[in-house]
Structure 1
């Protein structure tokens, strides 16, 4: 965790770009940010590490091998508790604000009802973030100065990749609590692949990701309980040669969820993900058809 004065001087996010674009992939880590603005911390009733419970800690590091292979990686520095770019731009809870929300705000989404809108109300086990109500202008500033530029960056990278290769694959990288279990109550998943129930990504890509991770000995499930959020849904257009796949990694594999420190399992998982990235990103070169006519 790093405390910053704000994101005027500290970059809100960055692109880790390869020396040369060699792959039709864009990797994204929107929830791994760990730079907390001082004003945000002062407005919160939570102490660290409680406020960090929604971080996808170290996920950006785990998927860093993609850059050396020739794909860009976008990573957030702002924390998810401060702003969630995996939501619509204006999924806002009116009960959180002093002022009236704009008419275009989506105040009735399931995510808003659950306290996890664009500006989250809670972290972890329903822990309330803020001491009092927020000023809508300050929140709209977060959306204008961070959310919208972040998504413009994603769109630009995907467009450049699509033009270069004729298709593009967005891998949206996340982590999940170790308490998550399979929908049938069986073995907890190590990875969950989300493709919005087959609508955001080529089935052949999802099958290949499943088989690769499963062959390494990991328990892999699909879409339950995480099918992909706004990013996967918004950018996945297989019929146009734009594919989006969300990958959730079980935090229990690589970190102590109480101290937020890396565990002994971190390096092993990092090595396995490096192997997975190398194998998975080589698939289109082997003849897999992912162009605009390849909607499945």
Structure 2
């Protein structure tokens, strides 16, 4: 495997995870993809660029290098479904629109996928686990922000147009309810954008698995509609004119997370 993730260690008790930003493919996946999947349409496009201010804030950042078409880092290693209805698994078999992801007879083998689990999935999750443990040891608590984006219209997955900012806390289980309400309030103060808390996207495996308020680890997922910062059709271009005001809201959200931690824990 080539480099499977990038990691920057920050100075404050916040870790930002970007599990679906990767663009690399293994040979088996690259050769097997159907034509309409070759542009990697289901990528969380440009998320590292959109959050390029995070290091300046003092956050730690971990980002995937391999595409979710190889293995989905936001699914459990036992591949149990996270959502009722249409969804994708640990090893995606379909595009978000429901079409098959691989040509007939060209799905990666079980042996290849076992390698992806050990060499891509596990290092990413080991990094999250180790960094959260370090932050909790140093500060007494840790904050986890799982950063995602998705096309605003995908009829196969959800009805109608997705809200712009989709906050997920696994129905209140992954972070302190006070923090969740604070973040919803920040979104409400940005009237140019719509938002929802625990709507269609309540948080995937990363939010659900690592969020543990009783153990002072607070996790939030943000699923951002891609229409807020980019073109949603090929070539999936980043739009600076759209992205700048969206980044301002993102910065306020992350600053609010950090300020809440100081207020709650005293450091």
Q: Is TM-score (shorter-chain normalized) higher than 0.5?
A: yes
Deviation of the 1:48 alpha carbon: 5.2
Structure 2 Cα separation of the partners of residues 87 and 111 of structure 1 = 11
Structure 2 Cα separation of the partners of residues 194 and 112 of structure 1 = 16
Structure 2 Cα separation of the partners of residues 76 and 195 of structure 1 = 22
Structure 1 Cα separation of the partners of residues 67 and 46 of structure 2 = 12
For the pair 1:78 / 2:53, whether they are aligned, the reply is: no
Unmatched tracts of structure 1, length 5 or more:
1-7, 92-105, 292-296
Deviation of the 1:222 alpha carbon: 1.0
- Asked if structure 2 preserves the Cα contact closer than 8 Å seen for 1:111 and 1:117, the reply is no
Alignment counterpart, residue 116 of structure 1, candidates 88, 108, 114: 88
Tell me the TM-score normalized by structure 1: 0.80
Structure 2 Cα separation of the partners of residues 221 and 11 of structure 1 = 35
Name the residue aligned to 2:246: 269
Structure 2 Cα separation of the partners of residues 90 and 36 of structure 1 = 22
Name the residue aligned to 1:148: 122
Name the residue aligned to 1:235: 210
For the pair 1:61 / 2:37, whether they are aligned, the reply is: no
- Asked if structure 2 preserves the Cα contact closer than 8 Å seen for 1:31 and 1:84, the reply is yes
Q: Aligned pairs, how many?
A: 259
Name the residue aligned to 2:232: 257
Deviation of the 1:61 alpha carbon: 2.0
Name the residue aligned to 1:32: 21
Alignment of 1:1-296 (within 5 A): 8=1, 10-18=2-10, 21=11, 23-47=12-36, 50=39, 52-91=40-79, 109=81, 114=86, 116-131=88-103, 132=105, 133-179=107-153, 188-217=162-191, 218-259=193-234, 260-263=236-239, 264-285=241-262, 287-289=263-265
- Asked if structure 1 preserves the Cα contact closer than 8 Å seen for 2:163 and 2:195, the reply is yes
Cα separation, partners in 2 of 1:110 and 1:253, compared to 1, 3 Å: closer
Deviation of the 1:290 alpha carbon: 9.2
**Residues 185-212 of structure 1: CA distance to partner in whole angstroms, max 9, x if unpaired?**
8985110110010111001111111111
- Asked if structure 1 preserves the Cα contact closer than 8 Å seen for 2:97 and 2:154, the reply is no
**Residues 125-153 of structure 1: CA distance to partner in whole angstroms, max 9, x if unpaired?**
01211112431101100001111111111
Cα separation, partners in 2 of 1:169 and 1:180, compared to 1, 3 Å: farther
